[in-house]
Structure 1
Amino acid sequence: MTTSAPITQDVFTIPRKLPEGGKINLVGLTRDGLRAALIAAGTPEKQSGMRTGQVWQWIYEKGVRRFDVMSNLAKDYRALLAEHFVIEVPEVVTKQVSEDGTRKYLVRIAGGHEVEVVYIPETDRGTLCISSQVGCTLTCSFCHTGTQKLVRNLTAGEIIGQVMVARDDLDEWPELSRAPRDKTRLLSNIVLMGMGEPLYNFENVRDAMKIAMDPEGISLSRRRITLSTSGVVPEIARTADEIGCMLAISFHATTDEVRDGLVPINKKWNIAVLLQALRDYPKLSNSERITFEYVMLDGVNDSDDDARRLVQLIEGIPAKINLIPFNEWPGAPYKRSSNNRIRAFADIIYHAGYASPVRKPRGEDIMAACGQLKSATERARKSRKVIEADAAPD
């Protein structure tokens, strides 16, 4: 099992300076980007490879945010770093903890925007669901996030920063004065299933996941990272080539007519085109199956005929089907399928030879379950504008 992303040629530029104090944030830079930034700040080129490795490990292996504690660097070099750079992650605005232990973080990024991040503890793993955009372009009708318009893409630093924030809260960085703790990892998996469509922000997602997989830092196996897409077909093969993580498809329907309504991107790349791209997926194998996510909507996509069509559609694709009981949210236009209906649907798939686990809803009491994420930031901002307009003098 490899722990690093496929080798690709990076094209990079020296990162844009932060508006606050003109310093560059090192979080989110690729190794090549970090090296370029260090050289631009005065690091001798002959030392740049070594310095890049040292700074990288302090940030991503030890979780350090201050240059003055980087004890294997000379004091004058630490001062040089502090003069030109910062190490910043998103700010945690609120943290909610569900009765089942799920944690939902509302984090603030540049521009005052906010996104949601969810940590789901289980007996054999701890999964972090992270966001790739503020809002979403896809307007999937069953998804609460889809009711919020796209504001902007997240940077690579804002994406990997969500992982670092969660590790902060879980106290999962090693103590600087001691060897790393010998214990089960609390954050063992990442899923790109939060706010946004990851493949509409491909480069930033790729760079952030390369950081997560780097063996000299956070060091997650590529097979412990799952990217979920609604079907941005041109970027699917690229995901295998440049990221190498596991792939999940937000599928949810077995006819174009129904999927057009549930997942509007289907009008651009329909079921047949999407499935052909999956059959051609470079990493497709029995050991690296594609996950089909299928939300169970009462009377919409949950019939026995739907289950049989689903089996026929994915024939020949090594796959498993995750059945997701619909997580209702205020104003949702759908209802959750009954438990009996979900079981009947799952049985048809199982007897056809596919794994068909039913996802247990987690964090529903804090609106952290699948499809429920939606930051209140943009609504609050609009409300403030209305209030300010009403209060303005005539």
Structure 2
Amino acid sequence: MTHCTPDSLIPQNLERVNLVGLSRDQLADLLTGWGERPFRAKQLWHWIYHRGETDFDRMTSLGAPLRERLKAQCTLARPEIVRTQTSEDGTIKWLLRFADGNEAEMVYIPEDDRGALCISSQVGCTLTCRFCHTGTQLLVRNLSAAEVVGQVMVARDTFGEWPSPIDESRMLSNIVVMGMGEPLYNYDNVAGALKIIMDGEGIALSRRRITLSTAGVVPMIERCGEELGVKLAVSLHAPTDAVRDQIMPINRKYPLAELMAACRNYPGANNARRITFEYLLLKGVNDSDEDARALIRLVEGIPCKFNLIAFNPWPGSPYETPSVARLEHFSRLLNDAGYSAPIRLPRGRDILAACGQLRSDSERERLSRHKARLAQGIGDDHAPDA
């Protein structure tokens, strides 16, 4: 493994380096480059990720000279909370601002005995799914590992869940990478953040409590399973290529046959660790009895379950929500075939925090750059920003 050198970690313009998001190896390289003994990196890791400390002066197990150097050259920056909205059902949505002024949204969904934190992986989204509000926002850029793990740290700050509980009584019991963006198009940063989150001496959230959702970036699915081992959710939303091509353009690149093969081969998938197929029901588009039967044929042989989601309207959306009777009948058809297929209750609709409703205003920067490039006669290939 190639480690970052201390010189590469400290920008030459003397800006302070953010320690949040650095791997164990990067943190160790930084401190050993300063002449510190290796165990200091373990102590610092404990302060950052187990205790959630933001003040170097309070890291009392570190010597005073090291604390002074850390204060002078480093920071422990989190994303800034710009706006907090609380739904009548208890769902909380935060608008977070990053150091460059870009923004993304994060959602906490409370349950009776736990709570799931839905985090974002991009500002905007690489994809343009027709039913998704986030998909109407052009991709601005990928989030860094610091910005991904920083979302979890902001939520822990908010709920006062430092130091990391050793039991599972925490409010933030689960993480779903289902917010803004396609995480497998930002794999390296998302993987780096999740490895920090799963580290037993840090945030210490078990991989069985983390779910990563993808629209179907087939080449990255196996790597995700082998390297991270988290639960996989696939945004399926159609049982045929004809329908999926219409509502999810990514299907033209990775059609259903390739996606289903990747799901069948997902490392560790079994009846105890079933793949979740997210299925958003759109009135008159993918909610017929024949659609249900085609769906059953499509997933045959895959250890899986379904999350059925009623379409959550957003301003200007072109689709309608099926009736409750239609939702329930669709669910029964899947149940009768032996699949768990609960209808997910919409959460946070009143604050646009439900599935497919997240969106920020950061596309303005992307559009400004696009217009500037056009003015200079430079084409725009819409490639994701690194």
* Mapped contact 2:137–2:359 kept (Cα < 8 A): yes
After TM superposition, the structure 1 stretch with the greater mean CA deviation from structure 2, 294-303 or 16-25, is 16-25
Correspondence 1:192 to 2:177: yes
Residues 12 and 203 of structure 1, relative CA distance in 2, 3 Å threshold: farther
Q: Where in structure 2 are the equivalents of 1:313-324 lying within 5 Å?
A: 313-324=298-309
Correspondence 1:22 to 2:46: no
Name the SS for the 1:99 alignment partner: coil
Question: 2:251: which partner in 1?
Answer: 266
Taking the aligned partners of 1:263 and 1:91, their CA distance within structure 2 comes to: 32
Question: 1:5: which partner in 2?
Answer: none
Residues 11 and 234 of structure 1, relative CA distance in 2, 3 Å threshold: farther
Residues 380 and 267 of structure 1, relative CA distance in 2, 3 Å threshold: closer
Taking the aligned partners of 2:30 and 2:66, their CA distance within structure 1 comes to: 14
Q: Where in structure 2 are the equivalents of 1:151-300 lying within 5 Å?
A: 151-174=140-163, 184-300=169-285
Correspondence 1:43 to 2:35: yes
Decide which of 315, 318, 332 is 1:333's aligned counterpart.
Answer: 318
**Runs of 5+ consecutive residues of structure 1 not aligned to the other structure:** 1-9, 387-394
Correspondence 1:13 to 2:4: yes
In the TM superposition, what is the alpha-carbon distance from 1:152 to its structure 2 partner?
A: 0.6
In the TM superposition, what is the alpha-carbon distance from 1:38 to its structure 2 partner?
A: 1.7
Question: 1:81: which partner in 2?
Answer: 70
Name the SS for the 2:48 alignment partner: helix
In the TM superposition, what is the alpha-carbon distance from 1:181 to its structure 2 partner?
A: 8.8
Letter of the structure 2 residue corresponding to residue 130 of structure 1? I
* Mapped contact 1:116–1:375 kept (Cα < 8 A): yes
RMSD: 2.0
* Mapped contact 1:17–1:25 kept (Cα < 8 A): no
Residues 18 and 106 of structure 1, relative CA distance in 2, 3 Å threshold: farther
Identity between Structure 1 and Structure 2 (%): 56
In the TM superposition, what is the alpha-carbon distance from 1:110 to its structure 2 partner?
A: 2.6
Deviations 1:368-392 (A, max 9, x none): 0010000023348969x99xxxxxx
Decide which of 325, 332, 335 is 1:350's aligned counterpart.
Answer: 335
In the TM superposition, what is the alpha-carbon distance from 1:242 to its structure 2 partner?
A: 1.0
Name the SS for the 1:94 alignment partner: strand
Deviations 1:324-351 (A, max 9, x none): 1111000001011111111000000001
Deviations 1:261-290 (A, max 9, x none): 111110001000100111111111111100
Letter of the structure 1 residue corresponding to residue 227 of structure 2? E
Correspondence 1:374 to 2:359: yes
Question: 2:86: which partner in 1?
Answer: 97
In the TM superposition, what is the alpha-carbon distance from 1:317 to its structure 2 partner?
A: 0.3
* Mapped contact 1:144–1:329 kept (Cα < 8 A): yes
Give me the TM-score of the superposition, normalised by structure 1: 0.90
Letter of the structure 2 residue corresponding to residue 102 of structure 1? T
Question: 2:383: which partner in 1?
Answer: none
Taking the aligned partners of 2:80 and 2:13, their CA distance within structure 1 comes to: 15
Taking the aligned partners of 1:16 and 1:94, their CA distance within structure 2 comes to: 31
* Mapped contact 1:18–1:25 kept (Cα < 8 A): no
Give me the TM-score of the superposition, normalised by structure 2: 0.91
Question: 2:43: which partner in 1?
Answer: 54
Taking the aligned partners of 1:163 and 1:261, their CA distance within structure 2 comes to: 34
Taking the aligned partners of 2:339 and 2:154, their CA distance within structure 1 comes to: 36
Aligned length: 368
Decide which of 53, 56, 59 is 1:64's aligned counterpart.
Answer: 53
In the TM superposition, what is the alpha-carbon distance from 1:20 to its structure 2 partner?
A: 8.2
Question: 1:389: which partner in 2?
Answer: none
In the TM superposition, what is the alpha-carbon distance from 1:16 to its structure 2 partner?
A: 4.5
Taking the aligned partners of 1:382 and 1:288, their CA distance within structure 2 comes to: 41
Decide which of 93, 111, 114 is 2:100's aligned counterpart.
Answer: 111
Taking the aligned partners of 1:107 and 1:200, their CA distance within structure 2 comes to: 21
Name the SS for the 2:290 alignment partner: helix
Taking the aligned partners of 1:368 and 1:191, their CA distance within structure 2 comes to: 14
Taking the aligned partners of 1:376 and 1:191, their CA distance within structure 2 comes to: 23
Question: 1:141: which partner in 2?
Answer: 130
Taking the aligned partners of 2:107 and 2:13, their CA distance within structure 1 comes to: 29
Letter of the structure 1 residue corresponding to residue 201 of structure 2? E
**Runs of 5+ consecutive residues of structure 2 not aligned to the other structure:** 372-386
Name the SS for the 2:344 alignment partner: coil
